[in-house]
Structure 1
Amino acid sequence: MKARTIYPGKVKGVALVSREPIGFYGGIDMKTGIVIEKGHPLEGKSVKGKILVFPYGKGSTVGSYVIYGLKKNGVAPLAIINKETETIVATGVILAAIPCVDGVDIEKIKDGSIVEINAGEKEAEVKIE
């Protein structure tokens, strides 16, 4: 699948998929990488080392710094794939140097599938195994 690069990188890993938006501030514990938002489909799961797939971010602009904090604490996702990356997630992945792409039909990505991202400066490709 073709995609748009938000932050470049080439990675391969296991997809952790949410069909609902993710709010990083108050939604993910910055020290552990565990989703703590009550009632969220990923509640209790760790984003550490996963390719985190979700439609778009939500919530406070502090979420950008939570993404950076996840990276600093060694519990960040390996990469992020969005249907649409909004400003909060875009700022966070740039600060944290986490590969990120958007413009992807995330319905085609199943939880637990192996996903490869090859994101250049502008264009990207996402492969699902």
Structure 2
Amino acid sequence: MTDSGTEGGPADFAGRTLCPGGGSGALLVLSEPLSFWGGTDRKTGLIIDAHHPQHGGSLAGRVLVMDASRGSSSSSSVLAEQIRAGVGPAAVLLTARDAIVALGALAAAELYGTHVPVVLLDAGASSRLGRRNGVTATVRAGADGRAGVVLDQAPAAGLPPRSREPA
């Protein structure tokens, strides 16, 4: 899917802005929802929920892909603090509206001047992005509501090549 309406040219995925900004990093596609409050370490950005499939993974500088978050409204303050400390995601891509995640990114933008985009994609986007886990994504989310995600063709530096899935 492409969208020539985003600044910088065509996008591999088009979406709607929940929080404006721009960011780039390796995709981290979560297979289950995550609570920032209790599920991540606010000082390191690591996933500490022992029952989460991506336990031990780092959010820091990654483009986080998940359907929605799980849990407490306090997650917004944890996300804002992670963004301030430089251990939060570079961008968040959701497939369901999530006011808690958007509020955390908006609070970080307002309080700390750090603009981490939060983008709403269509319902099937996370499974399509899951096949590209580890690839560098650049996210642009405009104040006009239009957003786009552009993917590199190769995995981000320092990450193993993505596995090939059967067609």
Is TM-score (shorter-chain normalized) higher than 0.5?
yes
Deviations 1:16-47 (A, max 9, x none): 11021111110000011100011211111111
Aligned residues: 129
Give the structure with higher Rg (CA). Answer: 2
Tell me the distance in 2 between the aligned counterparts of 1:72 and 1:80: 15
Look up the match of 1:118. 140
Deviation at 1:12, TM superposition (A): 2.2
Distance in 1 (alpha carbons) for counterparts of 2:56 and 2:25: 20
* Further displaced range: 95-104 or 48-57: 95-104
Q: In terms of mean alpha carbon deviation, does 24-33 or 6-15 score higher? A: 6-15
How far residue 102 of structure 1 moved from its aligned partner, in angstroms, is 0.8
The residue type paired with residue 151 of structure 2 is I
Segments of 5+ residues of structure 1 without an aligned counterpart are none
Q: Does 2:150 correspond to 1:127?
A: yes
Q: Provide TM-score, normalisation by structure 1.
A: 0.93
Output the aligned Cα RMSD.
Answer: 1.2
Percentage of identical aligned residues? 35
**Matched AA of 1:103:** L
Partner Cα distance (1:19, 1:124) in 2: 23
Which stretches in structure 2 are left out of the alignment for 5+ residues? 1-12, 110-115, 153-167
Q: Which protein, 1 or 2, shows the higher relative CO under an 8 Å CA cutoff with sep ≥ 6?
A: 1
Partners of 1:69 and 1:30 in 2: how far apart? 7
